Every structure is written in C-alpha cells, then in structure tokens.
Amino acid sequence: MPQRMFRSYQGLILLGLCVFFISKAVNGQLTWYINSRFVPLTIIAIVFLAVMAQTIFSENRRSRQHELEHPEHHHEHDHAPSSAALWIMIIPLAIGLLIPARPLDSAAFTTKGFNTSAPLVSSDSSAQIFETESQERNILQWLKLFNYQDDITEFIGQEASVVGFVYFGDELEADQFFVSRFVVSCCAADGFAIAMPVRWEKSNSLEQDAWVVVKGKIQSIDLNDTRTPMIVAESVEPADVPAQPYLFP
Amino acid sequence: MMPAGSATWLWDKLNVFATVFLGIFVEAVPYLLLGTFASGLVEVFIDRDGMSRWVSHRPAAAAISGAFMGMIFPVCECGVVPLTRRLFKKGLPLSAGISFLLAAPVLNPIVILSTASAFGWGQMLLWRFVVSLIIAVVVGLVFSVQGEPDEVLLPVLSGGDHDHVHAGAGDSIGGKIRKALLITVDEFFDMGRYLIIGSLLAAGLQTFIAQSTLLSIGSGPVLSVLVMLLLAVLLSICSTVDSFVALGFTGAFSFGSVLSFLVFGPMVDIKSTIMYLQVFKRRAVAYIILIPFMISLIAGLVFNYFVK
C-alpha cells in the first residue's frame, strides 16, 4: 500500500475512534464501560485523537504538494506498511457498532459471581455511611454497614430505598429476589456484582434484569452464614436504567 | 420470539464480552496515547545517546535509576512498552531500561496515590513499592550480562524505527511537535493492535471462565498466592486502578496473596505480554515474565508463612 494511502487510512481510523468516543460521551454510555472518574481521561484522548488525525491529513497534503512542486524527486517512502495493523484497529469500532451497548447484568453473574458483602475502602469511613440518611444509602453502603458495624440493631427497621436490577438466586425463597448492582473500580473488566435480598410477596411477577426501585424496611438475615441486610419491601416499582448503572467503591 | 436456550445464552455472553472488551479498551487508550506521545517527544527532544549520558552504565546503579525513572515518566503498563523501546534507541543502558519497564507501572506518583487511597498509607503500599523495586532491580541486573539492548530487542519492522516523517518537517518547535505527533500515530497503531488482541483475549477468558471457581480453589497459603497471580494476569487491568480491585479480595485472601497480585499484575498480564513479544526476543520475554513470577510468589509465601 502506498505511503500516502496508508496515512489516509490511519487518519480515517483515528477519526473513527474519535467520533466513537464522542458519541459514547454524548449519550452517556461511557460509564457503562469505565468508572466515571476516568471520563476526563477519555475526553483528553478524544482531543488527542482529533489532533493526531488532523496532523496526518495535513502531512498528506504537504507531501502531495511537495511532489507536485518537485516531480523529479522520487518518493522514497513507497514501501508498504502492513495493512493487517489497520484491520485490527477497526475491531473496537466494529464491536462497538455491531453489538448493541448493554451494561453488565445478570448474564455476567455466571463468570463474575456476585457478593452479598462488601469491603470498606480506606478513604471512606463507616461513620460517613452511618451519617447518610437511611433512604439515601445505596446497596453497596448497606452491605458495608452490615460488614463493619458490630452492633446493627440500630439499622433494623430503618427505611431503605435502593435502585438495582432483579436477580433470582437459588439461595432464596419463592417470595424473595435480589436487587443488584455492579461495582466497577476501573472498567467493566473488574466489575463485580453485589446484591441485597428483598422479600416481596409479588416477587414472581418480576423479570430478571428489570431495573426497579425497592422501598421498605431493613431486616437482618443469615445468608451463606453471613449477616446480610434484607429489605422487607413495601413497594417495588419499575425504574429507568440509572445514568450510571454501576456503583463506584 | 427467539427460542430460549442456546441462542439467548450466546447473545448474553456476546454482550458481556463486548462490554468487558470495550471497558478495557476505552480505559487503556488514554494511557497508551500518553506513552506513545511521551515516546514521540523523547524522539524529537532528546538527541541520540542523550540517555546514555544521564544514566550510569554500572549495572547496579543503572538498574536502580531505571526503576525510579517512573517518577519522571508516569506511565502504566500499556504506555511503558513503546517508551522503553524509544529510550533504548536513545542510548539507555539495557539494565536501566528493563528495570524501568517493570517498575514504572508501580513506582510512579499516580499509582502510589491510587494505592494509598485504597489501602491507606500503610503496609500494603510500602511492601508493594519495596517488592516491585526489588524485582525490577533483580531483572535489570540479570539483563545487564546481556550487554547491548540490540541483543534482546527485535528488529523494528514498521512504525517505530523508520519514522515516516517527511523531510522538511523543520527544526522549529511546531515542526518538532508535528514530528512527535506523527511518531505518536505510528506507535499508537503499532502497539494499539496488540492492546486490542490482548483485550480480546482477556475479555474472552473473562466471559467464559468463572472467576468464582478460581477464587473458590484459592484457599491455603500456597494456592491462594497462585490464584491471585493467575487472576492478575487474567484480569489485565491497568496498574493505576488495580488497588481498588485488590481491595475486593482482602476479605477472602491474606495480605501476602493480595500483595503478590499488586506486585505481579502491573508487570505481567495478557495485553502486556503480547506487547512485550513484539518488542523483545522470546527468551528475553521469558525472563521478564518468569523472574517477576518467582519473586512475587516467594514474597507472597513469605508473608503468608512468616508475617502474622
């Protein structure tokens, strides 16, 4: 492949990646792939890709002009860089365009597993979660509280309101289901699911992976020999997929 | 309606695969760009043999200074490969380059901060730093008997070496930046494809191998370290954030096992191995993988058996 054509393809692929990232940033799907605190890095990458593409195209223009002005110069760079490199770079675009985007859900449970307890990050303290209004706590915070507080009597009977997707686990009874979220530190590759059991008499009217808001009172049960918070639901309403489907530790 | 069963199963798997793959890719691209741009800047702003004047040629001193170069070039495991190759071209001694390659993904300000925010300024951070430093220096010294970088580096086929930069790029600052950007593009394509192949492989393994099975066999002081080392390779996550992932294992795994994950993961994983294979000869890659593996394993065992 002649040098200039190779360059043009490089420029087009860079532009394609740039547009792909922009579209993900605009429709809010970047956080389906990475933790929101890395979004600024992706924005920087978008600018970078655009500058690189522009550099390539202007370099090509320059070289064409150079050839017109000095036709006697034979172009020395006419060797062909392998085009395999170009094809591979198209793969992310192809996957992104052909497979409809979908955040991690219960389909990933079989390989990624799920937890009903969660570790505390050193930069957050249980005191902080403690002070959070009970209805403001998310699934992760409830699990942390039950992990790290010795005395949980205070939480029993508190009002909870959490958002998550439905998962039916084998370890539960017929009138129960899990409300779950994925926790992502870096990107979807490290995502792990956490889940809180819910008791609701109409549990079997729900569908797996449906997003719901669960409101009810907290109770403590033993699940796999671990003290686990359970919501005795007063209402379970369908919900939209949150702008950030994952929780961040 | 599609018949439930294998078709939906496959579709679900494909969705998980796509999400995990794009997750690794989107996360890694900024870091790869940072590394390749650093490489481009090194090419245009540091003259030939520039590095050899700054870094000592005595093997031990070179290995130690190489290990700390990450403090100046804060790159993680994707960006460090092209940058190291470029620094070799600028006369960086072999032992310094190898120890830079292994240490920079951990011994850099960003990773130190992220480890501290996950584990606090304590034992884990200290030992992660110390063990990584030891490994980097040891491997650097092992390579110092090889002499010149050319003996372990593969000849450059495309991109990196004969930079397709047209004559007349000029020596002005603008011209130099433009040249650096063109090199960035070439190296981004050169390394990017291996990043993509590595991410495809990692996403595929994650989609089909159950992490829970791996974790459930991982009890006992020896097996747990081995499982953590394997997981570090399998997950292929960036060293800047792996501490948060490691934190998730602290409940089920001992200090030593988690430490081995944090030390080995940044040095060796699926995508970095594939990138190493494009830059170094096979025998060199074997050393770059096996020595860190052995030392991480030993460190994990020492902590499991002798410390609390």
What type of residue is B185? Answer: V
pLDDT digits (tens, 9 = 90+) for A132-158: 788 888 998 898 888 877 788 888 999
Number of domains in chain A: 2
User: Does residue B265 contact residue B242 with C-beta atoms inside 8 Å?
Assistant: yes
Task: Identify the pLDDT of residue B159.
Answer: 41
* Same-domain check for residues A127 and A233: yes
What type of residue is B104? Answer: A
Contacting B residues, span 161-180, partner chain A, CB-CB under 8 Å:
164-166, 168, 178
Query: Looking at CA atoms only, how far is residue A40 from chain B in angstroms?
Result: 10
Task: Identify the pLDDT of residue B2.
Answer: 46
* Same-domain check for residues A149 and A91: no
* Same-domain check for residues A118 and A199: yes
- Rounded CA separation B77/B152 (Å): 19
Contacts of B242 in chain A (CB under 8 A): 186, 190
* Same-domain check for residues A124 and A198: yes
Give the best residue of B31, B164, B239 to mutate against chain A (max A CB count within 10 A). B164
* Same-domain check for residues A119 and A53: no
pLDDT digits (tens, 9 = 90+) for B206-235: 888 777 677 777 678 889 899 999 988 887
E strands within chain A? Answer: 114-115, 159-167, 176-183, 192-199, 211-223, 226-238, 246-247
Task: Identify the pLDDT of residue B89.
Answer: 87
* Same-domain check for residues A123 and A237: yes
- At residue A55 the predicted structure's pLDDT band, cuts being 50, 70 and 90, is very high
What CATH number does residue A112 fall under? 2.40.50.140
Helix (H, G, I), strand (E, B) or coil at A202: coil
* DSSP count for chain B of H helices, then E strands: 14, 0
Query: Looking at CA atoms only, how far is residue B264 from chain A in angstroms?
Result: 16
Q: Do B26 and A186 touch (CB under 8 A)?
A: no
Q: Do A33 and B23 touch (CB under 8 A)?
A: yes
Give the residue from A98, A119, A141 where a domain finishes. Answer: A98
Q: Note down the domain range covering A85.
A: 3-98
Nearest residue of B to residue A82 by CA position? B158
* Same-domain check for residues A85 and A156: no
Give the residue from A98, A114, A130 where a domain finishes. Answer: A98
* Same-domain check for residues A125 and A91: no
Q: How many CB atoms lie within 10 A of CB A169?
A: 16
* Same-domain check for residues A45 and A162: no
* Same-domain check for residues A234 and A120: yes
* Same-domain check for residues A85 and A112: no
Question: What region, left, alpha or beta, does residue B61 occupy, with left being phi > 0 and alpha being psi -120 to 50 degrees?
Answer: alpha
Contacting B residues, span 224-243, partner chain A, CB-CB under 8 Å:
235-238, 240-242
Give the residue from A72, A98, A124 where a domain finishes. Answer: A98
* Same-domain check for residues A110 and A146: yes
Contacts of A35 in chain B (CB under 8 A): 241
Q: Do B158 and A103 touch (CB under 8 A)?
A: no
Nearest residue of A to residue B248 by CA position? A119
Prediction pTM value? 0.84
Contacts of B245 in chain A (CB under 8 A): 185-186, 190
Q: Do A89 and B235 touch (CB under 8 A)?
A: no
